[in-house]
Amino acid sequence: MYTQAMSVGPQDAPSSKIKSAEEAQREAAFEARIAAGDFIEPKDWMPEHYRKTLVRQISQHAHSEIVGMLPEGNWVTRAPTLKRKAILLAKIQDEAGHGLYLYSAAETLGTSRDQMLDALHTGKAKYSSIFNYPTLNWADIGVIGWLVDGAAIMNQVPLCRCSYAPYARAMIRVCREESFHQRQGYESLLVMMREGTAAQKAMVQDAVNRWWWPALMMFGPEDKDSPNSEQSIRWGIKRVTNDQLRQKFVDATVPQAEILGITLPDPDLKWNAEREAHDFGKIDWSEFWRVVNGEGPLNRERLGARVKAWEDGAWVRDAALAHARKQATKEQAA
Amino acid sequence: MSQQSIQVGESPQVQYLLRLGDSCLVLAQRICEWSGHAPILEEDLALSNMALDLLGQARALLTHAARLDGQGHDEDQLAFLRDERQYLNPVLMELPRGDFAFTVLRNFAVSTWLLLLWRRLEGSSDAELAAIAGKAVKEAAYHQQHAADWVLRLGDGTEESSARMRAALGTLWPYCNELFDSDAVDAAAAAQGLGPDWASLKDEWRAQFCEVLADAGLDCPKDSAYQSQGRRGIHSEHLGHMLATMQYLQRAYPGGVW
């Protein structure tokens, strides 16, 4: 799952140092390749700022997969049927796998998983703000599948054509699995809404009420407040703007809500025949920035849980290394 | 308002299947607790993978047990509406997840046991059970390999990891007796060709288990006199808490469809 706010978080300004003629030439050649729709591979020359932007974006994406395991993992021991438990477990397992693909993709840019994890654990790297919200009832799990994965897919499909090839290839694999989970999430809500009790329907509505706006925030700040988007779009890292994706998401989701028979918590949401799109209410950007900057409902708990897992597991990693060294020594001696 | 518990019949066949199905389900539930908290990402994946396999095995066995029981129940009613006195897994599977050393060692003990059991069950007179075993045997072999690798790494890793493995062994060992306890249910299963008397697996289990322990620099403990009784529905204090968590939605939303 994931993604949001690629342009949120610490930004590296493009280097302003004076370029040599050779550098300028290489940059021009790079820009020409991008303009021609070429994909960039790990061994190709790339501007330092392009490299850094991608490391930040891909590692944030990987971190989001990992932190995103926690809100769903919160319900795995309490899933209401064995089938739903199996589906949820498989989903969380896929997320760990997505994290692994993405860390590998980022490593092709010259960073390491240890460096990236260190940045996560020390709070330097961001992850998607959506995972700082709590899962408070079982329907939250279905709603995360439907809305959060749905938003992630909207964000990620254009990334399948990202100019950096290893990232694009990772996205193709991720999107395939993600779409499957999204349908399963939606289906679980449909079952509760169509065949369930009044209490279950109320549970679904409550979950939608709590996740709708955070899901819309996953697309990141409005275009006018997203200064780095332009560069990312020019470089083919990003293909569609935040606001365009958000609109597309709303338009796709409203009919799905109707089929479910739930309401979306936005009195200003209505079809605009002239625009052939839905108008919708104003996002609470102060909440968005609060969560992004560490003051959301569960920022401390989520990061704390990851840091704890890492620290508690240190002796296991040390043992695995020590054992591997002993084996290597034995093999050399033999 | 809450959902009433169900009772299952006394038939030895059903009891035999439930002992096995509950073992898979309860261990899967414990392994699930690692979700998002494992020492490395690869192990998070591996543990979810194994929990998922065990859950699949449990579902097949509970579905089959429900059919044999003939009261119109299904896998979910057996899982979510039996209280702890009706659960029939050995206590070993319900012990708290502990640290990674305990988790790995228990996975090794249980997968070694399950692998022996599934191999025998492939020849069960019950075609359905034989088919379940045919699928499960491949999964158990993978689980055993994975767990054995970690027993070696941790037993023969650092001083700390080796100490943790010894501590884990001390906790786990007395509960292994129950895997090889013999009673009327086993005798009936063996007589009907349904499956082996669990006691008949003991020597082979012990040989495989202790061989890996020895490679990991750990001594195989002496037999413990302790005898847990989970297979007769007499559990540790841990199972009640596990079931309270696991069953709460089914209990709290009677008539719910999920």
Q: What is the pLDDT of residues A7-17, one digit of tens each?
A: 555 555 556 66
What's the rounded Cα separation, in Å, for the pair B86 and B2? 18
Identify the residue whose tokens are 């070993």.
B92
**Number of structural domains chain B divides into:** 1
Residues of chain B with C-beta less than 8 angstroms from the C-beta of A320: 153, 157
CATH of the domain at A73: 1.20.1260.10
In terms of residue numbers, what domain contains B196? 12-252
Query: A121 burial class (0-12, 13-18, 19+ CB within 10 angstroms)?
Result: middle
Residue A232 has what pLDDT? 87
Tell me, what's the pLDDT at A309? Answer: 98
Distance in angstroms (rounded) separating the CA atoms of residues A81 and A269: 35
ipTM (interface predicted TM): 0.97
In angstroms, what separates the C-alpha of B101 from chain A's closest C-alpha?
Answer: 8
Residue A40 bridge partners (DSSP): A164
> How many C-beta neighbours within 10 Å does residue A33 have?
17
Which residues of chain B register pLDDT less than 70? Answer: 1
- Whether the CB of B98 is below 8 Å from some CB of chain A: the reply is no
Q: For strand A277-279 and strand A270-272, is the pairing parallel, antiparallel, or unpaired?
A: antiparallel
**Domain for residue B216, yes or no?**
yes
A151 close to A219: Cβ distance less than 8 angstroms: yes
Mean pLDDT of A129-154: 97
A171 in contact with chain B, both atoms CB, cutoff 8 A: no
Beta bridge partners of A279: A270
Residue of B nearest to A311 (CA): B39
pLDDT for position A153 = 94
Establish if B195 belongs to a structural domain.
yes
Q: Note whether B257 contacts A138, CB cutoff 8 Å.
A: no
Task: Please report the pLDDT score of residue A19 as a whole number.
Answer: 77
CA distance A65 to A131: 10
Give me B128's structure tokens. Answer: 């359905």
Tell me if B76 and A82 make a contact (CB, 8 A cut-off): yes
Q: Which of B44, B153, B256 sits opposite A80 (nearest CB)?
A: B256
What is the pLDDT at residue A110?
97
* Nearest residue, CB atoms, A316 vs list B39, B51, B255: B39
Answer whether residue A79 is part of any domain: yes
Q: Do A92 and B35 touch (CB under 8 A)?
A: yes
Q: What average pLDDT does range A262-281 have in this prediction?
A: 98
- Distance between CA atoms of residues A217 and A232, nearest Å: 19
Structure tokens at B152: 């070696």
Q: If you average pLDDT over residues A132-147, what whole number do you get?
A: 98
Cα first-last separation, chain B: 18
Tell if the CB–CB gap between A317 and B257 is shorter than 8 Å: no
Reduce the DSSP state of residue A279 to 3 states and report it: strand
What amino acid occupies position B186?
A: D
Q: What is the pLDDT, as a whole number, of residue A334?
A: 84
Number of structural domains in chain A:
1
* A16, A232 contact by CB (below 8 A): no
Between chain A and chain B, how many beta carbons pairs sit less than 8 Å apart? Answer: 147
**What is the enclosing helix (H) or strand (E) of B204?**
helix B202-215
pTM of the entire structure? 0.95
**The token pair that represents B56 in the structure block:** 């699949």
- Chain B nearest C-alpha distance from A53 (Å): 24
Residue B208 sits at the chain A interface (C-beta within 8 Å) = no
Contact at CB, A69 and B36, closer than 8 angstroms: yes
Contacts of A40 (CB under 8 A, 6+ apart): A30, A33, A34, A46, A50, A163, A164, A165
* Greatest C-alpha distance within chain B: 55
**pLDDT tens sequence across A284-299:** 999 999 999 999 999 9
Taking contacts as CB-CB distances below 8 angstroms, the residues of chain A near B164 are 315
Residue A305 domain-assigned?
Answer: no
CA distances from A121 to A5, A125, B159, B226 (A): 19, 8, 27, 44
Minimum CA–CA partner of A141 in chain B: B258
Scored b (16 or more CB within 10 A) or e, A225-237 reads ebebbebbeebbb
Q: How far apart are CA B6 and CA B17, in angstroms?
A: 17
By Cβ distance, the residue of B35, B40, B48 closest to A313 is B40
CA A168 to the chain's CA centroid = 14
Nearest CA in chain B to A307: B37
B42–A100 CB contact, under 8 Å = yes
Angle of CA points A222, A227, A229, to nearest 5°: 80
Interface test with A, best of B22, B27, B37 (most A CBs within 10 A): B37
A25-58, pLDDT tens digit by residue? 999 999 999 999 999 999 999 999 999 999 999 9
Q: What is the CATH number of the domain that holds B88?
A: 1.20.1260.10
CA dihedral A254, A256, A262, A264 (to 10 degrees): -30
- Which band of pLDDT confidence, cut at 50, 70 and 90, is reported for residue A3? low
A128 has a pLDDT exceeding 60: yes
- What is the domain range of residue A165? 2-12+20-300
DSSP annotation of B123: T
Q: What is the pLDDT of residues A69-112, one digit of tens each?
A: 999 999 999 999 999 999 999 999 999 999 999 999 999 999 99
A287 assigned to some structural domain:
yes
Which of A:184-243 have CB within 8 Å of B?
A: 188, 191-192, 195-197, 199-200
The mean pLDDT value of chain A amounts to 93
Alpha carbon distance, N-terminus to C-terminus of chain A: 47
| Residue-wise burial string across B151-165, b where 16 or more C-beta atoms lie within 10 A, e elsewhere | bbbbbbbbebbbebb
For A324, nearest residue in chain B (alpha carbons)? B153
Alpha carbons B106 and B104: distance in angstroms, whole number: 6
pLDDT digits (tens, 9 = 90+) for A218-256: 999 999 998 778 888 888 888 899 999 999 999 999 999
Q: Is the pLDDT of residue A306 over 80?
A: yes
